[in-house]
Structure 1
Amino acid sequence: MEAKPTSVSRTIMTEIIFPLDTNYHGTVFGGKIMEYVDKISTIASMRHCRFPVVTASSDSLDFLAPVLLGEAIQLEAFVSWTHRSSMEVYVRVEAENLLTGEKRTTATSYLTFVALGSDGRPTAVPGVIPETDREKRLYESAPARYEARKIRKASRELESY
């Protein structure tokens, strides 16, 4: 299976934050950001592998700054690394004040998706070819995150007994 450039999976989503999207602080609900992150990650991972996918883990969602009522929110997602049937997806969330043009990173996230074959079981996915310096850094640091996920999953399995 031939590896694919990161640009194949790159997905951009832009929304405006309305009153129903906000909490009593006038900032977007964290759960709304989580919804957007999961949706865009699903699209990016399916663009990469061209199979149905399921979310295997949400490794992190780090909120760095609030998103305010009336601001635009832009999410960028791409597959940063793969392993047999799994794909790590990196998501960056940016807010924009539409009146001033000021932009700021408000959240970052790593999720893992698994591709499913026609039998509903995990299936092999193509590798990733990072193209930019940022993508290369994420790609090079991905095996450490993969190992951390394995350790975390194993410890959770032990907790359930």
Structure 2
Amino acid sequence: MKAKSAENSRTTITELMIPSYANFGGKIHGGILLSLMDKVAYATATKHSGAYCVTVSVDNVDFLQPVEVGELVSMMASVNYVGNSSMIIGIKVIAENVKSGLVKHTNTSYFTMVAKNEDGSLMTVPSLILNSKDDVRRFAEAVKRKQLRKGYQEQMEAEKSAFTFEKQKELIDGQRCEVHIKEER
């Protein structure tokens, strides 16, 4: 399988934000933006792998600034990392006020996608050619995020068995909650 560069699969989806996309506060609903991010992640992963791809996880969906009705939103995506069957797709979202020309960065997110064969089994994807320092940085950052996520998951799993009620109460002491548990008989 021939390696492919990140440039080969870079994808941008641009869409005008219309009133039906707005939430009760008059801003574009986060679910609309997530749906668009999922679409661009699918397109990018499919271009790289040449196969049907599915989303397996989403990291860091931080809504940095609200998106307004009438703005032109662009989702710019690239393959930042490849494993055997998985790809991490980095997505940068910008919104442009087409009247004023003001452009703002509204979201950055990372979608992990996997490629599937016709029978639904996982398939190997092409390795990634890194042609720039930015490509190297993105790949290295993805490796670091994977390591941190794995360490976090392992720590949470290890603490589950030792996480007694007393330790739980100690952890939440001083937080904005009230514990009202009726005595069990």
TM-score by length of 2: 0.79
Question: Over alpha carbons, which structure has the higher Rg?
Answer: 2
Mapping for residues 55-94 of structure 1, pairs under 5 Å: 55-94=55-94
Alignment partners' CA distance in 1, 2:114 and 2:156: 19
Deviation at 1:151, TM superposition (A): 4.1
Mapping for residues 34-53 of structure 1, pairs under 5 Å: 34-53=34-53
Deviation at 1:154, TM superposition (A): 5.4
Contact 1:59/1:149 (<8 A) preserved: no
| Backbone CA RMSD of aligned residues | 1.8
Contact 1:42/1:113 (<8 A) preserved: yes
Q: Whose RCO is larger (CA < 8 A, sep 6+)? A: 1
AA aligned to 1:45 is: A
CA distance 1:54–1:71, shift in 2 (3 Å)? same
Deviation track 1:67-94 (CA, whole Å, cap 9, x = no partner) reads 1111110111111110111000000000
Partner of 1:117: 117
Contact 1:6/1:129 (<8 A) preserved: yes
| Aligned length, in residue pairs | 159
Does 2:143 correspond to 1:131? Answer: no
CA distance 1:34–1:52, shift in 2 (3 Å)? same
CA distance 1:29–1:156, shift in 2 (3 Å)? farther
AA aligned to 1:67 is: V
Alignment partners' CA distance in 2, 1:30 and 1:149: 24
Deviation at 1:139, TM superposition (A): 1.1
Q: Which runs of 5+ in 2 are unaligned?
A: 161-185
Deviation at 1:15, TM superposition (A): 0.6
Q: Which runs of 5+ in 1 are unaligned?
A: none
AA aligned to 1:105 is: H
Alignment partners' CA distance in 2, 1:5 and 1:37: 21
Partner of 1:5: 5
TM-score by length of 1: 0.90
Deviation track 1:94-120 (CA, whole Å, cap 9, x = no partner) reads 000101111111000001011112331
Alignment partners' CA distance in 2, 1:119 and 1:61: 31
AA aligned to 1:85 is: S
